[in-house]
DNA sequence: ATAAATGCAAAGGGTTTGCAAAGGC
DNA sequence: GCCTTTGCAAACCCTTTGCATTTAT
């Protein structure tokens, strides 16, 4: 299930920074790094609790901070009013396709887009740093009438 | 300053929906519809107060809801932890370029991008509804060393 | 032994809601 | 006059912080 190698890298990061390797940090790291979804802080807490080692909310957020600082996890904001987190995989950068019905998130990569953003930014005098593209639509299974659930705050 | 025509359309919308045309709604509509910036709820409240007619926070949010429903205003989420609002101009859709230093927001339009998002969505079985692209970078004046201020929450 | 992490609960920021008072139609 | 809006304050959600206690090293 969870990729041992990534956990080891997190432990190495903790050691490097003289940060204690606690059971809570490990449990949280295993959940986030082992997930292929974009988890919210609450979902992380629930998943950790489901494994038998419940942790406090503050601990989840503090562990997430550490994971973000380690670079092993990245945060996402889909305009839901809260953040989501996902393992920073080898993929250098990718865009998101979000189902407005069930909340499912798919990823994709497009190099043309990458180039295009640089050109646009420069044409307006901006030094491009990064970009973010989210396409909203209805996924295949929802189009076929599978009852969805999640609701996200509309943004243009 | 504010475009009378748009206000009239808002009044027409209110009439059409049997919603009272109150001084507060008008003041808020004039501020939002007359602005060329992306205002936060708080900024709207301040601007309205500056005009001499202070309104409560709840009223600002409720009036914004009405403006959104009327289609005359659209909301934006730049990952700052709160929403911003801008008049829905004739521009059908546009992207944003945000300065990570001073917070300045510029808009632009790109048709190729529009098409590209439809193609990508369809290739993955999604029925495209809308998309959102934000490019982060450093604007010209900040590159030349003008002290910025605003800080936005990092998102990839 | 020491410095840091944990948990809890309280605080914090943006937004929403309940309800009595005010006001448009 | 009836029904909606307003304002205030309390409630809400997500997130952060303070502090006593537990824990890794």
Q: Taking the CB of residue A84, how many other CB atoms lie within 10 A of it?
A: 19
Is the domain spanning A3-87 CATH 1.10.10.10? The answer is yes
The arrangement of secondary structure in B95-153, i.e. its CATH architecture, is 2-Layer Sandwich (3.30)
Answer whether residue A3 shows pLDDT above 70.
no
Report CA Rg, chain A: 18
Residue partners of A111: CB distance under 8 A and separation at least 6: none
SS3 for A36-65 is CCCEEHHHHHHHHHHCCCCCCHHHHHHHHH
Over residues B56-90, the pLDDT tens digits come to: 888 999 999 999 988 899 988 887 788 899 998 76
Whole-model pTM: value is 0.75
| Residues recorded for chain A | 156
At residue B144 the predicted structure's pLDDT band, cuts being 50, 70 and 90, is confident
pLDDT, position B82: 86
Answer whether residue B105 shows pLDDT above 70.
yes
B155 contact A CB<8A: yes
Is residue B147 classed exposed, middle or buried when 0-12, 13-18 and 19+ CB atoms within 10 A define those classes? Answer: exposed
Answer whether residue B151 shows pLDDT above 80.
no
- Measure A91 CA to nearest chain B CA, in Å: 13
Question: Which residues in chain B have Cβ-Cβ distances shorter than 8 Å to A38?
Answer: none
Q: With an 8 Å Cβ cutoff, are A130 and B156 in contact? A: yes
Over residues A98-133, the pLDDT tens digits come to: 888 777 888 898 888 888 899 989 999 999 998 989
Question: Which residues in chain A have Cβ-Cβ distances shorter than 8 Å to B148?
Answer: none
Answer whether residue A96 shows pLDDT above 70.
yes
Average per-residue pLDDT for chain B: 83
Over residues B106-133, the pLDDT tens digits come to: 888 888 888 889 999 999 999 998 898 9
Q: With an 8 Å Cβ cutoff, are A135 and B143 in contact? A: no
DSSP B36: S
- Measure B85 CA to nearest chain A CA, in Å: 10
* Mean pLDDT of all residues in A56-81: 92
pLDDT, position B77: 85
The partner residue sitting opposite B108, judged by closest CB among A120, A130, A134, is A120
Q: How far is CA B27 from CA A36, A55, A148, B7, B24, in A?
A: 48, 48, 39, 10, 5
Q: How far apart are CA B83 and CA A81, in angstroms?
A: 9
What residue ranges of chain A are covered by domains with CATH 3.30.1490.190? 95-153
Residue written as tokens 């939002």?
Answer: B32
Residues 4-63 of A with CB under 8 A from B: none
Answer whether residue A151 shows pLDDT above 50.
no
Answer whether residue B12 shows pLDDT above 80.
yes
What residue ranges of chain A are covered by domains with CATH 1.10.10.10? 3-87
> How, if at all, do strands A39-40 and A84-87 pair?
antiparallel
Most confident of A12-26, A140-154, B128-142: A12-26
């Amino acid at each position: 299930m969870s990729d041992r190698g990534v956990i080891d890298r997190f432990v190495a990061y903790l050691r490097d920074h003289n940060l204690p390797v606690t059971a809570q940090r490990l449990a949280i790291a295993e959940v986030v790094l082992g997930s292929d979804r974009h988890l919210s802080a609450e979902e992380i807490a629930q998943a950790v609790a489901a494994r038998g080692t419940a942790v406090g909310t503050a601990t989840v957020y503090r562990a997430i901070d550490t994971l973000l600082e380690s670079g092993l996890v990245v945060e996402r904001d889909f305009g839901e009013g809260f953040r989501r987190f996902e393992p920073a995989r080898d993929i250098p950068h990718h865009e998101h396709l979000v189902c407005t019905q069930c909340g499912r998130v798919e990823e994709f990569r497009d190099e043309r887009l990458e180039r295009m953003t640089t050109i646009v930014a420069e044409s307006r005098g901006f030094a491009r740093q990064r970009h973010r593209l989210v396409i909203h639509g209805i996924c295949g299974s929802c189009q076929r009438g599978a009852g969805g659930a999640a609701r996200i705050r509309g943004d243009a």
